[in-house]
Amino acid sequence: MRGVHFYIVLVLIPAVLALGHDIALLLENSSFNELIATMQSGERPLMSYLSDLGFIWTHYARESYESVRESSDPQTWEMIKMLLMQKALFVALAFAGVNFLLLFILKLLKVGPFKG
């Protein structure tokens, strides 16, 4: 069962990293008091503070982004672009959710790490 707990923590790491990245970027670009005032005034919606997956990819690994864009056919690239426009935190949480669902199904069927 420890393996399952380790797997759960492992699957949540991308979401924690995405949230940490957003918080670090936010605090780097504005003071804490200014940030609180902006959030309370409602000038910007809360979602605008979260990074898109595409921003993170192009900002930190531009060469690999260009390589994938050039080597992908147009239909595949359109699907990739749709994913890149999503918030990184939500993509990571969706990934974790799918994995948790699979673990739940394995537990119901009593297979894999849930044998016996």
- Listed by start position, the domains of the chain span 2-114
Structural contact between residues 88 and 17, judged by C-beta atoms closer than 8 angstroms:
no
Task: Please indicate whether residue 36 or residue 50 has the higher confidence score (pLDDT).
Answer: 50
Given pLDDT bands bounded at 50, 70 and 90, which one contains residue 30? confident
Give the pLDDT band (50/70/90) at residue 1: low
- Mean residue pLDDT of the chain comes to 91
The token pair that represents 89 in the structure block:
């935190």
Model pLDDT for residues 68-115, shown as the tens digit of each residue = 999 999 999 999 999 999 999 999 999 999 999 999 999 999 998 888
Angle at 55 between CA 42 and CA 32, to 5 degrees: 40
pTM of the model: 0.83
φ, ψ of residue 43 in degrees (nearest 5): -60, -45
> How many Å apart are CA 24 and CA 17, to the nearest integer?
10
